[in-house]
Chain A
Amino acid sequence: MAKRLALAVPVGFAVCAVAAVLSAAFGAHVEPARGATGRITFVDAQDLSANRRIKQRVEEWNAHARRHEQVTYVSLPTPTDAYRAQLVARAQDLAGARGDVRSRCYDVVALDAVWTAEFAEAGRLAPLPREQFDVDRFLPASLESATVDRRLWAVPWRADVGVLYYRSDVLAAEGVGPPTSWPELERMARDIAPRHRLHGYVGQLGRYEGLTVNALEAVWAHGGDATALDSPAARAGVEMLARGLRDGWIPQDALNHTESEALAEFSAGRALFMRNWPYAREQLAASPLSGSFGMAALPGHAALGGWNLAVSRCSAHQATAWAFIHHLTTDDVERALLEQGGYPPTLRALYDDPALNARLPHLTVLRAALEAARNRPATAHYDEVTRLVQAAVHSALGKPQSIESELRRLAVDVKRAFSGR
């Protein structure tokens, strides 16, 4: 078997180590698919602009790989709920499948970090050997999102984290730096912004996943947590957002904002602060606001986003799948995705790289944000949990007098949802 693997695995991968560890770890019980090589399909949900970068990496692999280990790249630039629906349905179709139909398996899938636990617990993924992927290379929070019950189910690929954008020109004129706590942010948004005819703060408070993220960040900032949404701390977090809406330092429109509306508002020069993801930085740099904005870590804990790479349980060629994932998570590839696509890497070492830091000064901010970042709750029923959070928080923000009762009920509902019932 060692020989077969050695022939099969492309350049740059520690072939013998794989074979040796495989034999040691699984002995005679190695499932055929785990050690097998062959053609695989890689599915990603990336948007079109990023496509090319990722496609290039796949082509790079295909140029070096043997013919029987070629990778078919399938890009599904659909909304993420549609992407998820397709992945789940395909995995369910092929659960336990034998024979030719396994060629329809999406061998390697890019999974939203927040789905990884669900996919693992539902039995859609094949576990990965930790030691093969040198997991200590990765950011701890990213690694946590790929780990369930101490087993590795995916490899962190692209990190994402909430950050704070601010009007550096305005803060400079006021002689202050970016806020380092939420009370400070609230004070600036309330007092400074109106003097400059700006909204204080925009985020993602529309009724969708972004609201869960924004609400959790507010809850975390006050010492609360998703497992006790009826606690005074959690309430204080949601009340801060509600207060912003009531007092006007968050505009009412924000209740419909997703990332793009918030970005439009901020880049049109209408807001002092914006919570958004790192991708917004490049767009702002290309806008009239270029030179008048700054990016800082959010006060408190930011939500971790990002994408992990996993191997589907239906994959008949898991050895190739592992090697391919290894290829996509090398220092070189993550470096290229950062420099060309703006994706924060999941590899810790890149944040220490002097050359990268010299070229990309915002890396320090990303690093600080990622170090403090937290994962959304890891549960097989995340879908249901987030739906409940969105409904309750959106309703509570619209009717602040109901916050307490909403959260009390939400806490009960969420706990029930965690059980899948």
Chain B
Amino acid sequence: MGTPRPAVHRTMLAVDVSGFGALDRNVQQAVRNGLYRALESAFTECGIRWDDEWDGTYHEDRGDGLFVLVPATVPNARVVSALPHVLVGELRRQNAVLPPGGAIRLRAAITSGEVLNDGNGVMGDGLVLAFRLLDCAALRDELRRRPGELALIVSDRFYRDVIDNDPACDPLSYRRVDVAVKEVRDTAWITRPDHPPAVAAPKRSWFARPVLRRLRWSLPALVVLLAAPVSCDALLATPVPTPPCPDPVQLNVLTSAEKADVVGALAVDFEDASRSFEDAGGCKQADVHVAVGPSERSVAALGRGWPDGDVAALSPEPHVWLPDTSWEVAETRQVLAAGGRDDVVLVDRGPVAHSPLVLGVTPDRARERVFQWHDLAAFRPLGPVDAADSGAGLAAAAALAHAALGVTALGGPTLGGPDVVRRLREAALRTARDPVDPCPAAGVAVLGSEKAVRDLTCLKPLYPAGGTLDLDHPFVEVRRTDRPNARREAVAGAFHAFLVDGPAQAVLRQAGFRDRGWVVAPHDDIRPKPPPELALTVDAAGVRAAWEAARALTRVVVAVDGTDRAAVFADRLTALVGEHGDVRRMTYAPADLPRVVERAVGEHGADHTVVVVVGGTPPAATTQPAVSAAQVTVLGVGFTDRPCTAADQLGAFQASYRGGCYTEPDVDRAVDRVAEGLWGAHG
């Protein structure tokens, strides 16, 4: 890639032909040649010799476009005041002879900064910035929305240092945009040398002055404009009165936390883009409010019609809902149907993005690149998995349940039963209870979306060998049958069209999602190919209930009678409470059994569940137990026959307290049954 060169300060131009990739290969070649001819002619016409010298107009083809370094001897002002306009003329000249469909429409970016050549290629922050700007949604959108051959973006720094101070550079023809591409979050400035902004007519008298100022073009611009009949009309036209803008439609968007940032940025772009809708007359058509909603609460609120109480507690009534998964949509439909509500209708328009569930691990554990679901237990500790908070959490809980139980239909029926509850509890114990920050180096693994793991720069994704769950990010329109609003439906439809269109899809990719076609922005650790899908049926409400019960914080007093079996039982139970709660052990003499609950409450409080274990032969309930006034849950366990009958002490507890009583000679099975009592999703 050439001779190593030390760092020098240069101005650089990066360009990319819009839609190049979609062209036929022969046309591509013709377009490429045309582009080079146009650039060469334009530089020459501006008095800048076109060569390939390091100190001259050094240029290089990159996968995402090409860049030209401008000789350090050329004043920056000449680059911006003259070159774009001349380039437009040259592009038109080339376009006139290019094959049909091959007309060049160019995105261009100008920045400046240090560049060097380390022998492997040219690099520098300014160059990176130029290609990021070239890729930003605002620029793509600008070229898409309006006709013309060239859309130029310059960095904020360049605008301030060069353009803003020089009337010849026509600073007022630029509009400011916010750019968020990969690591770049900045302001930049866009201009359309061959398509100046539409001129708004004055609404108030003092508006007249800037209209004239906006059209103050530099000489080369005028030459180009005069050569183009359409632009001439725009230049010479006298403003005609325009009607006042109608009230923009309020569009309230509820999104999952995972998409909050990118949806917030896209909503702003959409508001801007709405000015260019057909018949918009330059007026903003939509005001978008973006709120983030926790998954389970959003489902519940939608299911009850999002009354004012939910507006107060959560966010404005949503018109568009962007959850992580379609399971949440199905869950909401179930709630609506169960409540007999037909005033809220969810229209699911399909995915706006995808993100597969992966396991994020520290680099030292990432050599294999894959893992097996049934080996998930080896990756301990896992970060917390909260099935209520997000769809991603719900998917992680479903995957953990699948790994623990081996079933593919995850719902109420498959998630109950003593043995199942105990295994879910064991799976839950392998996840952290409280949020942990995995970076820089907490040593935890994270079961989450590919996007989330990609954001955690300290972890690398492992893909499950047997396929994985897809967070399919559906676009859901929330319609109200009692107050239909056609304008809003149209705007919601336009927002959907905007999100699935190329520029927004590119923004979603840059944010770490896969686009609708499963394409992902290149990344060393991310597999370009979509992972196979793990075919699970997920009943969201059932999974949430089972998982959240299984990972509950539990406080237990286990009362044992001194027998070995009771001690073994207590050990097993203590292990199952694990770090998600605490266990107090209390030994009682058989004769004191009737008072054991009262004693437990007295010593530890009523917020502990009391598990009373009778290892030996239970004494008959000669006296009724002293009933503690506190509301306490009591689970009785007896290993011998019939300890739970009313005539026995445990049976008497059952009659007096909420809870249950289990007769189970096998210690393991007894533990399972108590586990179900403690961590089963009741009701």
Q: Is the CB of A419 within 8 A of B291?
A: no
Contacts of A74 in B (CB 8 A): 308, 312
Q: Among residues 372 to 421 in chain A, which have CB atoms less than 8 Å away from a CB atom of chain B?
A: 380-381, 383-384, 391, 395, 399, 401-402, 405, 409, 411-412, 415-416, 418-421
Q: Chain B interface: which of A26-34, A80-88, A213-221?
A: A80-88
* Distance, CA A391 to CA B178, complexed state (A): 10
A325 CB–B CB distance under 8 Å = no
A380 to B248, CA, bound (A): 11
A123 cross-chain contacts in B, Cβ below 8 A: 247
Docked complex Cα distance between A90 and B311 (Å) = 12
Contact of B485 among A75, A93, A122, A416 (CB under 8 A): A93
A94 within 8 A of B: yes
Whole-angstrom distance from the CB of A377 to the nearest CB of chain B?
11
Within 8 A of A (CB), among B239-288: 242, 244-245, 247, 249-250, 252, 275, 281-284, 287
Contact A97-B245, Cβ < 8 Å, known A85-B316, A86-B317, A395-B187: no
Could you tell me which residues of chain A, from 94 to 148, have a CB within 8 Å of some CB in chain B? 94, 97, 100-101, 104, 122-124
- Interface residue A89 (Cβ < 8 Å from any Cβ of B): yes
Known: A415-B207, A418-B207, A420-B244. A89 touches B250 (CB 8 A): yes
Whether A421 lies near B204 (C-beta < 8 A) is: no
The range of chain A's interface size is 35 or more
Residues 275 to 321 of chain B near chain A (Cβ within 8 Å)? 275, 281-284, 287, 289, 291, 308, 311-312, 315-317, 319
Rounded to whole angstroms, the CA-CA distance of A74 and B214 in the bound complex is: 48
Nearest chain B CB to A333 CB, angstrom units: 23
CB distance from A104 to the nearest CB of B (A): 7
Q: Separation in Å of the B46 CB from the closest CB of chain A?
A: 25
Distance between Cα atoms of A26 and B249 in the complex (Å): 32
Interface centre among B160, B171, B172, B242 (most CB of A within 10 A): B160
Q: Is B582 in the interface zone, CB < 8 Å from A?
A: no
A78 within 8 A of B: yes
If A76-B312, A89-B317, A412-B172 touch, does A122 touch B289 (CB 8 Å cutoff)?
A: no
Contact B312 A75 (CB under 8 A): yes
Closest to B483 in A: A93
**Complex contacts, B483 vs chain A, CB 8 Å:** 93-94, 97, 101, 104
Interface residues of B in 462-495 (CB under 8 A from A): 480, 482-483, 485, 487-488
- Which residues of A sit under 8 angstroms from B308, Cβ to Cβ? 43, 74, 76
Q: Are A420 and B284 in contact (CB under 8 A)?
A: yes
A227 interface residue per 8 A CB criterion: yes
Taken together as a complex, chains A and B put the C-alpha atoms of A378 and B206 apart, in Å, by: 16
Does B642 interact with chain A (Cβ within 8 Å)? no
Is A92's CB within 8 Å of the partner chain B?
yes
Residues of B within 8 A of A405 (CB): 160, 164-165, 171
Question: Is B423 located at the chain interface by the 8 A CB criterion?
Answer: no
Assess whether A291 is interfacial by the CB under 8 Å rule. Answer: no
Indicate if the CB atoms of A383 and B480 lie closer than 8 Å: no
Q: Check: A183 CB closer than 8 A to any chain B CB.
A: no
Question: Does B203 reach chain A (CB closer than 8 Å)?
Answer: yes
Q: Are A421 and B312 in contact, with the CB atoms below 8 A?
A: no
Say yes or no for A77: interface residue by CB 8 A criterion. yes
Contact A419 B485 (CB under 8 A): no
Which A residues from 295 to 321 make CB contacts under 8 A with B? none
Q: Which residues of A contact B203 (CB under 8 A)?
A: 418-420
Pairwise interchain contact B312-A89, C-beta atoms closer than 8 A: no
Q: Does B200 contact A (CB under 8 A)?
A: yes
Partner of A92, one of B187, B242, B485: B485
| A92 CA / B487 CA spacing, docked (Å) | 9
A78 touches B312 (CB 8 A): yes
Q: How far is the CA of A101 from the CA of B482 in the complex (A)?
A: 7
Residues of A within 8 A of B249 (CB): 92
Q: In the complex, what distance in Å separates the CA atom of A43 from the CA atom of B202?
A: 37
User: A86 to B213, Cβ gap below 8 A?
Assistant: no
Instruction: Report the bound CA distance from A124 to B246 in whole Å.
Output: 12
State whether B247 touches A415 (Cβ < 8 A).
no
* B312 and A384 contact, CB distance less than 8 A: no
When chains A and B are docked, how far (Å) is the Cα of A82 from the Cα of B253?
11
A409 partner residues in chain B, CB cutoff 8 A: 171-172, 176
Chain A residues contacting B147 (CB-CB under 8 Å) are: none
Contacting residues, chain B, for A89 (C-beta < 8 A): 250, 252, 316-317, 319, 488
Query: Quick one: which of B154-207 are within 8 Å of A by CB?
Result: 160, 164-165, 171-172, 176, 187, 200, 202-204, 206-207
A265 to chain B, nearest CB (A): 27
Q: Which of A82, A92, A227, A384 contacts B289 (CB 8 A)?
A: A82
A421 touches B200 (CB 8 A): yes
What's the minimum C-beta distance from A7 to chain B, rounded to whole angstroms?
29
Could you say which residues of chain B place their CB within 8 Å of the CB of A90? 317
With a CB–CB cut-off of 8 A, which chain B residues contact A412? 172, 210, 213-214
CA distance A94 to B164 in the complex (A): 47
B289, A402: Cβ atoms closer than 8 Å = no
| B204 nearest CB neighbor, chain A only | A418
A77, B289: Cβ atoms closer than 8 Å: no
Q: Kindly report which residue of chain B lies nearest to residue A88, judged by CB atoms.
A: B250
C-alpha gap A75/B309 in the complex (Å): 9
Determine the residue in chain B with the shortest Cβ distance to A384. B284
Chain B, Cβ-Cβ closest to A91: B250
Bound together, the chains give a CA A411 to CA B206 distance in angstroms of 11
The answer to whether A415 and B210 touch (CB under 8 A), given A85-B289, A402-B160, A421-B283, is yes
With A76-B312, A416-B200 as known contacts, state yes or no: A88 contacts B488, CB within 8 Å: no
**Which A residues are in CB contact (< 8 Å) with B250?**
85, 88-89, 92
Q: A395-B187, A419-B203 are in contact. Are A78 and B315 (CB under 8 A)?
A: yes
Smallest CB separation, B156 vs chain A (Å): 8
A-B contact pairs, 21 of them (CB 8 A): A43-B308, A74-B308, A75-B312, A78-B316, A82-B315, A86-B252, A93-B488, A104-B482, A395-B187, A401-B160, A402-B160, A411-B210, A418-B203, A419-B202, A419-B204, A420-B244, A420-B245, A420-B283, A421-B242, A421-B275, A421-B283
Residues of chain B at the chain A interface (Cβ within 8 Å): 160, 164-165, 171-172, 176, 187, 200, 202-204, 206-207, 210, 213-214, 242, 244-245, 247, 249-250, 252, 275, 281-284, 287, 289, 291, 308, 311-312, 315-317, 319, 480, 482-483, 485, 487-488
Q: Which 6 residue pairs are nearest across A and B when measured between Cβ atoms?
A: A420-B245, A85-B289, A86-B316, A122-B247, A421-B282, A88-B250
